[in-house]
Every structure is written in structure tokens, then in C-alpha cells.
């Protein structure tokens, strides 16, 4: 998995804030140090139709991908 590279992601619908998102995540084994745990988080974001909208590796990458899926960082509304 990667940190959300656009080349590896399917087209994200514009303003996906109107859809239900499913976040699947897991931690890589053995991360005992809190600093290590931040980078050990991996997963995917998908929608209810089963389409994967992107993947992430690390907490910061998760939030970057969420902002992208929700409409380039713009608040919903």
C-alpha cells in the first residue's frame, strides 16, 4: 500500500462528502513506541458500493486522503 498516490487511486467522485465512507484500517504488528504506532497505521477508504477510493500508510496520510475524498480540503456545505 502507499500513502495515497493519485496514480494508484480510482477516480474520486467530486464532493464525495455526500456519500457514506468506509474506513478499513489496521496496525502493523510490533509497534510499541507511540511514534512508531503513528506510522504503523495502514488501510483503505471505500464507499458503500465497494469501490476503493484510496489507501493510506500513516496517520497523516489518512487525513490527507480524507481531505481529498471530501473535496480537496474544503469543509462540507
Strand order in the sheet with 52-57: 21-27, 41-47, 52-57
52 burial (CB, 10 Å; 0-12 / 13-18 / 19+) is middle
Statement: the pTM of the whole predicted model exceeds 0.75:
no
Phi, psi dihedral angles at 11 (to 5 degrees): -60, 130
- Please enumerate in sequence order all residues whose Cβ is within 8 A of that of 9, keeping only pairs 6 or more positions apart, or say none: 53, 54, 55
Cα separation, 76 vs 10, in Å, equals: 22
CB 23 within 8 A of CB 64: no
Cα separation, 62 vs 70, in Å, equals: 12
**pLDDT for 19-71, tens place per residue?**
778 888 887 765 566 655 555 789 999 988 888 989 999 889 999 998 888 87
What is the per-residue pLDDT for 1?
44
User: Residue 3 pLDDT > 70, yes or no?
Assistant: no
Amino acid at each position: 500500500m502507499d500513502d495515497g498516490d493519485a496514480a494508484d487511486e480510482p477516480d474520486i467522485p467530486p464532493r464525495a462528502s455526500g456519500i457514506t465512507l468506509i474506513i478499513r484500517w489496521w496496525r502493523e504488528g510490533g509497534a510499541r513506541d507511540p511514534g512508531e504506532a503513528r506510522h504503523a497505521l495502514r488501510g483503505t477508504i471505500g464507499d458503500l458500493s465497494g469501490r476503493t477510493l484510496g489507501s493510506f500508510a500513516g496517520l497523516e496520510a489518512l487525513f490527507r486522503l480524507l481531505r481529498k475524498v471530501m473535496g480537496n480540503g474544503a469543509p462540507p456545505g
